[in-house]
Structures are given as structure tokens and as C-alpha cells.
Amino acid sequence: MTGTLYIVSTPIGNLEDITLRAIRVLKEVDVIFCEDTRVTKKLLEKYEIQTPTKSYHQHSSEQKTNEIIERLRSGQNLAYVSDAGTPGVSDPGGLLVRDVRTALKDSVQIVPIPGASALTTLISVADIPMAQFTFLGFLPHKKGRQTLFTEIANSKRTTIFYESPHRILKTLNSLKEVLAPERLVVVGRELTKQFETIYRGPIAEVYEKISQETRGEFVVAVAGR
């Protein structure tokens, strides 16, 4: 029988934010494929998980993908984890699922093991309308950025996206140019980590606060107009 591929969510910061089911699955599978084995090693050591690991990242060759497919075809059960959070956004998890499903079709089980996500973590404390929202992942670096900011400004739905420490001030400044002064913005910095900070308020106020501390990873939510 074909093996099972588990797509396992891992903590986004605090290593205690992992489910009992995820720990069990990571202990039981034959191999864990990781976006970065060095990052995953810290999690595995904390929970005394001794399952072998192998790397699978955005630059992995077709040969590595074929290895995963052949392991599944031979009956091995595998797990895939990204560096942090739920695979499928800005990591190779989505491509892996596509390639495995294309090769093995209905003969393979692909099982999600849900858990931490920076997106849902910010949503839970944002205190802005979330009945409907648009998620953009990471914004493009160049092409289409200005058009996207205009779309965010005109949207009636809350818009959420990820941003890096190197671009956060430039992005917030671009938003400041297109948003109404009273438009609410919520930014989560270093969510679940030691220096977790939630900034909430009009765009100019949030920009001023974050300009004092740009280190860390950011999640930004812009309330709909």
C-alpha cells in the first residue's frame, strides 16, 4: 500500500505551541522532510523525537521530489514541516502536495495536521472585522506593489499580509500615502516569541511606534474602509 504524507504544522515561535497529534505523528513517521533541518532539530530535541530528517526546500531538485514520491509508493509514511507555522504559504509545502498528488493520484493519502499560524494568531487579537478578509501572503517586492496598496485602500474587507523587517517601514509608509488617516491597522511583531508586540491604531500612529523597533517578523492587518 502507498504510504501517507502528513503536512504538519509547527510552532511559529514558542515551542510549546504544538499539538499532541503533531508530536505523535512526528514520532511515528519513517522520515520527516524539513524546510531546514537545523531549525526543525530544535523542536525535535525538545520533544525527544528521534525520527530521521531530510531537507526539502524551495531549491530542492526534482530528484528530491521523486525520492519522496518513491518512498510513499513503497509504503513509507512521511511528514513535511516548514520552518514555522502551517505549510503551504511561502514555503514549498504547496508544491510538494501538488507533485505528490499528480504522481500518485488517489492512491496516496495526504493528511493535514493543523496547528499554529501567524495569520490566525493575529486574527484572534486584532479586534477589527474578520467575518470576511483577504490574505495576500508576502507582498511582491516590485511589480504591482503600488496597485496592490491602492486595492487595499479601496477594499471593504480587512486585508492581511506578511512583511519582513527590512521592508516593514517602507510598506507602512506606502499605506500611509493611500489610507484615510483614521483607518485602523493592526500589526503583530514576533508573534508568540519573547518580544511579541501588537500595534493597533491609525496608520500614522502605528508607523511611528514600529519605526522605533523593526526587528522581527511582521503580520499586518488593514481594516476595510
Tally of CA atoms within 13 A in the half-sphere of 156 that contains its CB: 0
Residue type, 132: Q
What pLDDT is attached to residue 184?
97
What pLDDT is attached to residue 89?
81
Domains of the chain: 4-113 (3.40.1010.10), 118-222 (3.30.950.10)
pLDDT in tens, 17-56: 999 999 999 999 999 999 999 999 999 999 999 999 999 9
Instruction: List the one residue out of 69, 161, 71 whose CA is nearest residue 119.
Output: 161
What percentage of the chain reaches a pLDDT higher than 70? Answer: 100
What pLDDT is attached to residue 92?
87
* Residues 188, 194: Cα–Cα separation, whole Å: 13
Regions in the chain scoring below 70 on pLDDT: none
